[in-house]
Structure formats: structure tokens, C-alpha cells
Structure 1
Amino acid sequence: MKKGLALIALGSTVAFSAVPAMAQDAQDNFSGPRIEGLVGWDRSQPGSSVDGDSDVGIDGFGYGVGIGYDYATPSGFVVGVEGEVTGSTASTENDTSAYDAFGLGEVETGRDFYAGARVGYAVTPNTLVYAKGGYTNARYNLVASDGTNEFDDHLDLDGWRVGAGVEQALSTNTFAKLEYRYSNYEKGEFDAADLGETDRFDVDSDRHQIMAGFGLRF
């Protein structure tokens, strides 16, 4: 009996001493500044308020870079701020069905700026699950021709983004992650070479992305 009680006490001591060690590992793995490369799938399409087939959109390969800073608490929660600059190969490629439904003319997806925050929880010392949200500004390059002249203007869209993902620490200095992001753009303005920027107007455009990342933490 005494031997059994001693084993239980020893096991409890080991378990309780392991908790601070696991918390410290999570703090080391998910704290500090980070930089990352991003690749994945990118799709833009009309929003729910736009007439036409909302299933028609433009798909492409997304790519970019991100930076951020995270702080991990002793309890395993992680909060951070982040920013990204991304691009995409998505375009209508003279597909008139996509052209009509997307509602923007012949389009090529341009750069996208994002700034936001995320909050997560380290479910293990090496695995973080998180949600994110923030501001996004996307550019679409519009190409048109009247038979004589060609026009190459920009449409800049302002909106918001939400998402969720999983990050895996490969070491205290490297990580990989996978996340889904949804963006909705509600305001836009044309930036024409010969006319300058127009007044802002209402739009409704959706963007879906599945992005993988690999990064370094300092």
C-alpha cells in the first residue's frame, strides 16, 4: 500500500513539473518576430449582392511574404499582429463568361496588402491553432481596348479579412502553417493613368484563399 501511494505521489510530481516545461516550450516556439513565405490557391468572385452566377470567378496561384510579432502567455494563449504583401496569377484570360459574371471587364489580379491580428492557443508545445482578422486592400488590373487604343487601369478595393489556421513549430526558429482566409471588399476606386483616382464607390467582391507558409522566428 505504501509503495502504491509512493508511486502515485511520484507520478503526480512528474506530471505537475511537466506542465511548466510544456508551457515554456510553447512560449519559446510561438513568441517573437517572424517572417514567412506564402503560396497557395486564390479565387476572386462576385459577392452575394451582385447579379449573375456567383460560382463564376477567377482562380490562380497565390504567393507573397508576411511579417508578424507574437506573444505567448504562460497559459498557452498566443496573440500577435501581422502584415502581408501578396500577389496572384488569377485572371479572366479573355474568358467572356467570367468577364460578364465577375463584372469588372478583363481582369488580372494585382497586389494585395493586409494588416491584422491573430489569437490562438498552443494545443501542444509545437502546435498552434489560431483565428485572424484585419484590413485588406486589393488591386485588380483592368485591360480594355476600343479597337484603336488600349487602356490599362487599376481598380483598388478596400475590405476586411477573416481566417483560421494551424501552425506547426519545426524548431524554435522555423515553422510551417496552413490557413484558410475569406476577404470581402465593399469599397472601390479606379486609378486611371489619364484621369487619376476617382471617388470611392460601393462594390461587393469575395475572395477565398488557402495558403501554406514556411517561416523563420527570431
Structure 2
Amino acid sequence: MKIYLLGAAVLASVPGVACAQDVSADDFDGIRIEARLGYETPTVSEDGDVYKIGSAVSYGGEAGVDFKLGDRVVAGPYITYEFSSVELCDGGECLKEEGNLGAGLRLGYAVSPTVLVYGKLGYASIEFKAETSFGSGSASKGGVQGAIGADVNFGEKFYGFAEINYADYGKFYGINLQRRHVAAGVGFRF
């Protein structure tokens, strides 16, 4: 019986501890820059079939500004650029992904003094370069992207993050083009 009473007392005190923490969007607002490392899979699809162009590492950076909109809410613009090592070769012909540009709006909610969960929605552009025995050329395609992720503060200015991202570029030379991407990295708030 004493064990049950002790357990009930511990459970009853947990909400009090959570409420005692000061959670504020102040911990997450301001200018920020990030170094990003990811893994991506650009794909094409047609008639219900999905084909991978390749899967590879991506790396790059992001800059943004988060403005405090409420006690726990921040929002602001961002811009991202990532280089890619995706390559699909057949004989002497290769299709290489050159890079990805993203820009849009990020909306975040502080769930604790150190954790911000966020969503992103914006414009995305992907660039490919084709190399054949007849020469080479490049083309890019714009579309829409969305992401969800979380920032974890490691102090007053430094943080780490993890994020998943999906971009849909619509028809690219008559075939649907998408990009699936996971990323993690570190950032600094000014």
C-alpha cells in the first residue's frame, strides 16, 4: 500500500516539475546559421512506379532568422543550400545532382527550455548535370518542399538539430521528380 501511495505522490509531482520550468521562445529567437550533413534520395515516378536516381550524402548550410511571435512560438524565413554526391552512371553517361536550394518559412514551438520542434514550408530547386560522350549540360527544376524537425540547445548560443524533408518538383521532362532527405547538424544563434 505504501508503494502505491509513494508512486501516486511521484506521479502527482511530475506536472508540477514540468510547470516549474520556464519555457520561452526567447531561447530560440534571433539570427541563426547551421552546418548540415544529410542523406538524400532523389526519385522519379511514372505510372505508379518509383525509381531512385541514387542515394548519397549531402552537405551544406542554412541561414535564417526566427522572430518571437508568442510565449513559445517563433517564425521566420530561412535559406538553405546543400551540395550532393548523388550520381547515376551507365557506361560513359552520367547524371549527377549538383545541389539543392531551399527558401521559405519556418514555424517553431518551444516544448521545453532546450527543445524547439518546427515545421518548414517553402520553395525548392534541384540542379542536375548530364555528361555523355557527346558533351554535357545542366538543368534545374523548382518545386515545393516541407520539413519537420527539432532543435536542441547545448547552451545559450549553440544547438544541434535533426530534420526530415520532402520536396516535390512536379514534372521534369515529363516525369515526376521528388527528393527525400534527412539531415542533422549544429547551429549558432546570434
The TM-score with structure 2 as length reference comes to 0.83
Task: Please tell me whether the aligned partners of residues 185 and 203 of structure 1 are also in contact (alpha carbons under 8 angstroms).
Answer: no
Letter in 2 for 1:141: K
Match of 2:56?
60
How far the C-alpha of 1:95 sits from its partner, in A, is 7.5
Q: SS of the residue aligned with 1:92?
A: strand
Number of aligned positions between the proteins: 175
Alignment gaps of 5+ in structure 2:
1-15
Please give the residue correspondences for 1:164-175 in structure 2 after superposition, counting only pairs within 5 Å.
164-175=148-159
Separation in 2 of the partners of 1:109 and 1:210? 16
- The structure carrying a bigger helix percent of its residues is 1
Separation in 2 of the partners of 1:144 and 1:53? 26
Match of 1:211?
183
Q: SS of the residue aligned with 2:89?
A: coil
Q: Does 1:126 align with 2:102?
A: no
Q: SS of the residue aligned with 1:93?
A: strand
How far the C-alpha of 1:94 sits from its partner, in A, is 2.6
Among all aligned residue pairs of Structure 1 and Structure 2, give the percentage whose two residues are the same amino acid.
26
How far the C-alpha of 1:211 sits from its partner, in A, is 0.5
Q: SS of the residue aligned with 1:54?
A: strand
Structure with greater Cα Rg: 1
Q: Deviations over 1:160-199 (max 9, x none)?
A: 10110011111121111000000011255xxxxxxxxxxx
Separation in 2 of the partners of 1:79 and 1:169? 17
Task: Please tell me whether the aligned partners of residues 152 and 160 of structure 2 are also in contact (alpha carbons under 8 angstroms).
Answer: yes
Task: Please tell me whether the aligned partners of residues 23 and 72 of structure 2 are also in contact (alpha carbons under 8 angstroms).
Answer: no
Please give the residue correspondences for 1:92-103 in structure 2 after superposition, counting only pairs within 5 Å.
92-94=88-90
Letter in 2 for 1:154: S
Separation in 2 of the partners of 1:143 and 1:132? 34
Q: Deviations over 1:61-80 (max 9, x none)?
A: 01001100001344201112
Q: Does 1:177 align with 2:161?
A: yes
How far the C-alpha of 1:22 sits from its partner, in A, is 3.0
Separation in 2 of the partners of 1:34 and 1:90? 28
Among 74, 77, 83, the alignment partner of 1:78 is 74
Separation in 2 of the partners of 1:110 and 1:170? 33
- The structure carrying a bigger strand percent of its residues is 2
Please give the residue correspondences for 1:1-218 in structure 2 after superposition, counting only pairs within 5 Å.
18=20, 21-23=22-24, 26-27=25-26, 29-47=27-45, 50-51=46-47, 53-94=49-90, 106-145=94-133, 150-186=134-170, 188=172, 203-218=175-190
